[in-house]
Homo-oligomer: A and B are copies of this chain.
Amino acid sequence: MSKILVFGHKNPDTDTITSAIVHAYLKQQLGVDAEAVRLGEINGETQFALDKFGFEAPRLVEKVSTETQQVMLVDHNEFQQSADDIRDVTILEVIDHHRIANFETADPLYFRVEPVGCTATILNKLFKEHNIDIPANIAGLMVSAIVSDTLLFKSPTCTEQDVAAAKELAKVAGIDVNEYGLAMLKAGADLSAKKTEDLLTLDAKEFTFGNYKAIVAQVNAVDVNDVLVRQSEVETLGQALIEKEQLGLYFFVITDILNNDSVAIALGEASEAAATAFQTTLKDNRVVLPGIVSRKKQIVPALTEGLQ
């Protein structure tokens, strides 16, 4: 069998990067020539986790079909979030925890999606199903992914399975999950050194809501005002993106990781409808989102429903 590339979504986050590494490791143990790669830049939080457990970032690829005909996806399934040439290769496996949309294959495949908080929680099951031991450094990456996706178990996406997996894996990794987790989240939430244009693409995903093409971006912050002071710059750059990408909505979510609330800057034709989707109104292009931290479980379903 030729080399199989394993990768997560564009604008990679910690779950996407570590799950690519972890799943490629599992496959290698099963005799498959798998290599983890990435579709975008490593963020500060992910770099903190890679450094802590002694991993290099996976290799950056632009296109996958020039290298292989066979791929495995982790942490995403929607084609617009994947490699640009994803339709030109055969998808052998998908391990994910998101809604399913804009995905299609000609042949049957292994497609494992579960409604849990993190891909790593599913990968933990796969190791058990195949009777493969998890080394300490791989377990550390998996804990990092769970902490990141669940905001240290505080996100509504977090399930009992995620908490149990994180505790079990933290033991294997030899770390205190709360202490390590908070340090990792803070490393990711330190945006002071970032240019505003980088914040816009740090964790941005494209969706289709009704007739609108939309981008929902999210950044974590210890204090949302650290980001809100940059609002006019976000607006200028967001408007440019709307014109370039023909977007109906640009939705930039700033999440307070200590208080578990968010504020969004909403731009584009559908911005007022987006506020209405959360039973509120747009003020100064802002949508206040009390208690909302999860793009997947709270923001995308509300926009899917509201912009139909």
Residue positions of A touching B, CB distance < 8 A: 97-115, 129, 296-297, 300-301, 304-305
Question: A111–B112 contact, CB under 8 A?
Answer: yes
Question: B113–A111 contact, CB under 8 A?
Answer: yes
Given known A100-B104, A103-B103, contact A112–B109 (CB-CB < 8 A): no
What is the chain B residue whose CB lies nearest that of A110? B114
Copies per complex of this chain = 2
What is the chain B residue whose CB lies nearest that of A304? B106
15 A–B contacts from the bound complex (CB under 8 Å): A99-B106, A99-B108, A99-B109, A100-B105, A101-B104, A101-B105, A103-B103, A106-B304, A107-B115, A108-B114, A108-B296, A108-B297, A109-B115, A110-B115, A111-B112
What is the chain B residue whose CB lies nearest that of A125? B129
Partner of A113, one of B108, B300, B301: B108
- Contacts of A100 on B, CB cut-off 8 Å? 100, 103-105, 109, 111
- Contacts of A304 on B, CB cut-off 8 Å? 106
Within the complex, what minimum Cβ distance (angstroms) separates A82 from chain B?
A: 14
Within the complex, what minimum Cβ distance (angstroms) separates A31 from chain B?
A: 15
- Contacts of A111 on B, CB cut-off 8 Å? 100, 111-114
- Contacts of A98 on B, CB cut-off 8 Å? 108
Within the complex, what minimum Cβ distance (angstroms) separates A250 from chain B?
A: 21
Q: Main SS of the interface on chain A? A: loop
What is the chain B residue whose CB lies nearest that of A208? B104
Given known A100-B111, A111-B112, A111-B113, contact A106–B297 (CB-CB < 8 A): no
Q: 6 closest pairs, A vs B, by CB?
A: A111-B113, A108-B115, A101-B104, A106-B304, A99-B105, A106-B301
What is the chain B residue whose CB lies nearest that of A98? B108
Partner of A107, one of B99, B102, B107: B99
Within the complex, what minimum Cβ distance (angstroms) separates A297 from chain B?
A: 7
What is the chain B residue whose CB lies nearest that of A78? B104
What is the chain B residue whose CB lies nearest that of A157? B108
Within the complex, what minimum Cβ distance (angstroms) separates A303 from chain B?
A: 10
Partner of A297, one of B97, B105, B107: B107
The answer for the CA separation of A112 and B109 in the assembled complex, in Å, is 10
Within the complex, what minimum Cβ distance (angstroms) separates A302 from chain B?
A: 10
Within the complex, what minimum Cβ distance (angstroms) separates A90 from chain B?
A: 11
- Contacts of A305 on B, CB cut-off 8 Å? 106
- Contacts of A108 on B, CB cut-off 8 Å? 97-99, 113-115, 296-297
The answer for the CA separation of A101 and B107 in the assembled complex, in Å, is 10
What is the chain B residue whose CB lies nearest that of A128? B129
The answer for the CA separation of A192 and B132 in the assembled complex, in Å, is 53
The answer for the CA separation of A97 and B110 in the assembled complex, in Å, is 8
What is the chain B residue whose CB lies nearest that of A103? B100
Within the complex, what minimum Cβ distance (angstroms) separates A57 from chain B?
A: 27
- Contacts of A107 on B, CB cut-off 8 Å? 99, 115, 297, 301
